[in-house]
Amino acid sequence: MRGITQWENTRISVRSIAGSPIRSALTALGVMIGVAAVIILVALGRGAQTQVESSLNSLGANLLIVYSGEPRGTALVRSNTANIRPTLSEDDLAMIRALPPELVLLSAPASTANVQLKFENRNIAASVVGTGPEYPEIRNFRPIYGSFFTEIDVERRSAVVLLGAQVYRDLFDPGRDPVGESVRINGVSYRVLGVMEEKGSAAQDSSVLIPISTFQRRVSGDSNYAMISIQAASSEVMREVQSVIEQQILRLHRLPSMEYADFYIANQMDLLSTVAGVAGTFTLLLASIAGISLVVGGVGIMNIMLVSVTERTREIGVRMALGARPRDITAQFLTEAVVLAIGGGIIGIALGITGSWVAMNMARTAAEVSIFSVVAAFGFSVLIGLFFGGYPAWRASRLDPIEALRYE
């Protein structure tokens, strides 16, 4: 039965905190800001991560691209492939198409060249991509107006073209229906089938698409392809697809190993995990900066608690004289520090969520509040209260009752 209850300790702390509200608010301010910072910065980090991942996914699902030539950088989609000597053959494409649907769903060859485009009296430079009818599906790049060419167009080597959004704007007056019009590419006339959706990437928006067979006959005169885009059956098989295709092309090209390869494969998975890794590091960095401010907040609590213990020496002496054990005094001051930290933490959480909301809705920044960061920030502020309140509380409990009573 004997002994003060934690409930009573909490009441004492709350009263003492409420007794000097401004000082208490200032004491908790550091933790408040720290917690808000953790939540906002983690939300921004995660928002950036999600945004990058979704823009990567917009390139196409489970995308692999076999490129001619030496590996260059880590980019999944290379901005300029026009000046690469194409090394990928029809046999390579046939081999990929022969792979079971458990591995590969779709594939489309592509080659590019820089050309002159002409419509009526307008003349622009653009890049032309020769490819297959699977291309829109694989690259998640579809006509917004009109329709894409079909397998029949490829078989017949039809002179048909789809315009990138920028090309359409450059050649046609606003609102003019381009479908059925004739556009000249390097002097040859092509019938316009439609306009591609805007992707926001200059490479795609400033290009035009024609059937691969037409490209080979009229533009390049080369039966090889610059690249082959592949849609794997699932993200799980992407690594396997990559290694199978590598082995098969090495065999077809009679090459001993990838060191000698005249092609390379860019894998969306690798890129995604690289980006996720970078973004994760970024988020962690932001979180640790915010974490440091939480620790600084904790030091603030410790500072004020030490002052408070000194100021309240007499109170401590009185409580001891009336039967408080050292552990009761420890508990009292520790509770006070934890209540302050929790109070700061709760206000900080509210500020953090509000701040993230503002960033998202007012500043139009991607922000994703993570429940984990909220829970972690709260838990961390409790720990900070315990840790930084610990020393002042211990000091308080070690006071000699007689000296404490004599303290002026």
Partner 1 sequence: MIELINVTKEYQMGDTVVAALRGVTSSIGKGEFVSIVGPSGSGKSTLMNLIGCLDTPTHGRYVLAGEAVEKLSIDRLAEVRNTTIGFVFQTFNLLPRLTALENVEVPLVYAGVPRAQRREVARAMLERVGLPDRARHKPNELSGGQRQRVAIARALASKPAVLLADEPTGALDSVTGEEIMELFHTLHSEGSTIVLVTHEPELARRAERIIRMHDGEVV
Contact flags string 349-388 toward partner 1, x per CB under 8 A: ----------------------------------------
Identify which of residues 85 and 327 has a Cβ nearer to partner 1 in the complex: 327
- Considering only 327, 361, 372, 382, the residue that binds partner 1 (CB under 8 A) is 327
Instruction: Check the CA dihedral 57-362-378-383 and report its sign.
Output: positive
Identify which of residues 284 and 402 has a Cβ nearer to partner 1 in the complex: 402
Q: Is 15 in the site for partner 1 (CB under 8 A)?
A: yes
Residue 197: DSSP 8-state: P
Query: At a CB cut-off of 8 Å and minimum separation 6, what does 183 contact?
Result: 117, 118, 119, 161, 163, 171, 189, 190, 192, 208
Minimum CB separation of residue 5 from partner 1 in Å reads 7
- Considering only 192, 324, 331, 339, the residue that binds partner 1 (CB under 8 A) is 324
> What is the rounded distance in angstroms from the CA atom of residue 284 to the CA atom of residue 267?
26
Identify which of residues 157 and 325 has a Cβ nearer to partner 1 in the complex: 325
Query: At a CB cut-off of 8 Å and minimum separation 6, what does 116 contact?
Result: 123, 124, 125, 126, 185, 186, 187
Identify which of residues 291 and 317 has a Cβ nearer to partner 1 in the complex: 317
- Considering only 319, 337, 373, 393, the residue that binds partner 1 (CB under 8 A) is 319
Q: Say if CB 34 and CB 289 are below 8 A apart.
A: no
Q: Is 325 in the site for partner 1 (CB under 8 A)?
A: yes
Minimum CB separation of residue 390 from partner 1 in Å reads 19
Query: At a CB cut-off of 8 Å and minimum separation 6, what does 256 contact?
Result: 250
Q: Is 316 in the site for partner 1 (CB under 8 A)?
A: no
Q: Is 314 in the site for partner 1 (CB under 8 A)?
A: yes
Identify which of residues 24 and 267 has a Cβ nearer to partner 1 in the complex: 24
Minimum CB separation of residue 13 from partner 1 in Å reads 12
Which of 360, 375, 373, 266 lies closest to 48, judged by CA? 360
Which of 65, 58, 53 lies closest to 129, judged by CA? 65
Question: Which strand (E) or helix (H) includes residue 161?
Answer: strand 160-163
Minimum CB separation of residue 288 from partner 1 in Å reads 40
Give 322: exposed, middle or buried? Use CB within 10 Å, 0-12, 13-18, 19+.
exposed
Please tell me the total number of residues recorded for the chain in this structure.
408
Identify which of residues 8 and 198 has a Cβ nearer to partner 1 in the complex: 8
Structure tokens of 305?
Answer: 């608690």
Instruction: Check the CA dihedral 369-375-378-379 and report its sign.
Output: negative
Other CB atoms closer than 10 Å to residue 300's CB: what's the count?
A: 22
Interacting residues with partner 1 between 328 and 347 (CB under 8 A) = 328
Task: Choose the binding region for partner 1 from 13-21, 66-74, 207-215, 387-395 (rule: CB under 8 A).
Answer: 13-21
- Considering only 29, 318, 383, 386, the residue that binds partner 1 (CB under 8 A) is 318
- Considering only 47, 130, 298, 317, the residue that binds partner 1 (CB under 8 A) is 317
Minimum CB separation of residue 395 from partner 1 in Å reads 16
Which of 170, 195, 175, 194 lies closest to 120, judged by CA? 170
Task: Choose the binding region for partner 1 from 101-109, 112-120, 150-158, 324-332 (rule: CB under 8 A).
Answer: 324-332
Q: Say if CB 388 and CB 299 are below 8 A apart.
A: yes
Q: Is 321 in the site for partner 1 (CB under 8 A)?
A: yes
Identify which of residues 36 and 399 has a Cβ nearer to partner 1 in the complex: 399
- Considering only 2, 176, 254, 364, the residue that binds partner 1 (CB under 8 A) is 2
Positions that interact with partner 1 (CB under 8 A): 1-5, 8, 15-16, 19, 314-315, 317-328, 401-402, 405
